[in-house]
Chains A and B, each alone.
Chain A
Amino acid sequence: MAINRRSFLNAILGSGFVGWLGSIFYPVFSFLVPPKMPEANVQSVNAGLINDIPLNSSQILKFGRTPVLLVRAQSGEFKALAATCTHLDCTVQYREDRQDIWCACHNGIYSLAGRNLAGPPPKPLSQYVVNIVDKEVVVSKPKQIG
């Protein structure tokens, strides 16, 4: 294929133009992506004295920026679960009357073990570990395996 002077110059100018566009938009798009913010690596949170937490109640604990739901069941047993609904990111709550975990946004229902029972949630809530140390309730992140 013969290349004449005009098409050669058009190709050079065209690629120059594309390069120019790239030099404008690359910094703009990079600017739009937020930088990664370091998050405090909280391994465990003290939820208070065991005697101060009534039966059939719940509270939300702050694991850095992550909410964790601590439930004390009617039986006295403690359960700690990620409080973020696996459906669309809302924060779940413990329903004392029905003794289950409920997401008000789209009516998702989980068992106290975190299993998704009804509604749209596709996955269970991840579990946290609860230990009683000197009458203090301590909630910790589950140990990563491997």
Chain B
Amino acid sequence: MLKKTMQKTYHWLDERFKITPLVEFMSHKQVPVHKHSLWYYMGGVALFLFVIQVVSGILLLLYYQPGIDSAFESVQFITTKVSFGWLFRSVHSWSANLMVFFVFVHMFSTFFTRTYKKPRELTWVTGSVLLLLSLFFGFSGYLLPWNELAFFATKVGTDIAGAIPFIGEPIKLLLRGGEGVTGATLSRFYAFHVALIPAAFTILLFLHLLFVQRQGMHEPEFFQKLPENKKRMMPFFPNFVLRDALLWLLVLNVILYLAVFFPWEIGVKADAFAPAPQGIKPEWFFMFMFQALKLLPAHIFLMEGEVFGILFFAIAGTVWFTVPFWSVFIKENLRLKLMKLFGIIVIAFILILTIWGYLD
């Protein structure tokens, strides 16, 4: 009975939208099986976490009230009064952090397997923009509970943007909605977090996935060199998709475990006239930049230390995100080693400064 209804629905849809070619495309799509196949799942995990973000975010929106007199109170209300409010808030925070983590893992895995090379340059670029949007998601969402830590992190973060030569001040004004971090900033960050970034993110994500589907899974060099009969492949549907689903289920369990046993703190309500509290720190994914700015002296080469730091990160970021375009100019026999070294230096830099930041 169920099978018949499903078949009927399929035929009804197929007659109108010609979905058979799409299903055939899916069933013919193959995923290479080799020692680095694990990394193929990282983007999928990040995607799944984004879906959790959207669902839990929409639920939180039903109770959250932006405004300096209501934001902190409404988050308190969600966590203490609303049924399962504590759970959805913690799930939202934990999955946000895990999403950024998996976006980073996905990025580094594509870097070290050199997936960014021709013809996938634009997949790398759209992925880079998605990473930046994820960071902006985190930065804007951090302020919404209007607590002390978030208040000062936003002050520092927007002031860093303000130190960019020439365009810094207008950017700072646009971000803050005024001179200081006030209720106007909270309104703006709310708009960024729930409307502007999700819209941009969805468009970019659609393009990113479209490129991946159109070009198929990347085969690493050693795999390409194998004779055709030695290349092990797995059908994308249902084999790969089912493995994906299993991993997503595991991730969901981890999030629920974290949310239940390590609920996210609300902190102390922000007070614009209180001194910055001891132990102030940004979210972990900004820690390496925070620590670097902390270590820089007041002046470097006639420049203020922070301006130097910002310029350094801007240039380093641009170099990193344009890897597919400049790496082709390195001699082929050197490229492999140099790019690996470059990646290791970047990871070591981020890890060392992050750990240092937490120990300091």
Contacts and interface: CB of A to CB of B under 8 A. Distances in A.
A133 interface: no
Contact of A32 (B174, B277, B305, B306): B174
A83 to B, nearest CB: 7
Given A34-B173, A60-B275, A103-B276, A90 B297 contact: no
A87 B275 contact: no
Interface string A119-146: 1111000000000000000000000000
Given A90-B152, A120-B305, A67 B294 contact: no
Given A34-B178, A105-B156, A87 B306 contact: yes
Contact of B298 (A37, A105, A121): A121
A120 B296 CA distance: 6
A88 B277 contact: no
B197 to A, nearest CB: 15
A122 B279 contact: no
Given A37-B178, A88-B306, A90-B155, A104 B293 contact: no
6 contacts: A88-B155, A88-B293, A88-B306, A89-B156, A91-B274, A103-B276
Given A34-B173, A34-B178, A34-B184, A90 B280 contact: yes
Interface of A: 32-34, 37, 60, 62, 65, 67, 69, 83, 85, 87-93, 103-107, 116, 119-122
A69 B275 CA distance: 9
In the A-B complex, the 8 residue pairs with the smallest Cβ-Cβ separation, listed nearest first, are A93-B275, A90-B276, A89-B159, A104-B276, A122-B298, A88-B159, A106-B294, A88-B156
Contacts, number: 79
Contact of A120 (B159, B180, B298): B298
Interface of B: 152, 155-156, 158-160, 170, 173-174, 177-180, 182, 184, 272-280, 290, 293-294, 296-299, 304-306
B173 to A, nearest CB: 7
A107 B289 CA distance: 15
A33 B305 CA distance: 28
Contacts of B276: 85, 90-93, 103-105
B155 A67 contact: no
B160 A88 contact: yes
B280 A104 contact: yes
B298 A62 contact: no
Given A60-B274, A90-B156, A90-B280, A106 B293 contact: yes
B239 to A, nearest CB: 48
Contact of A91 (B170, B273, B278, B297): B273
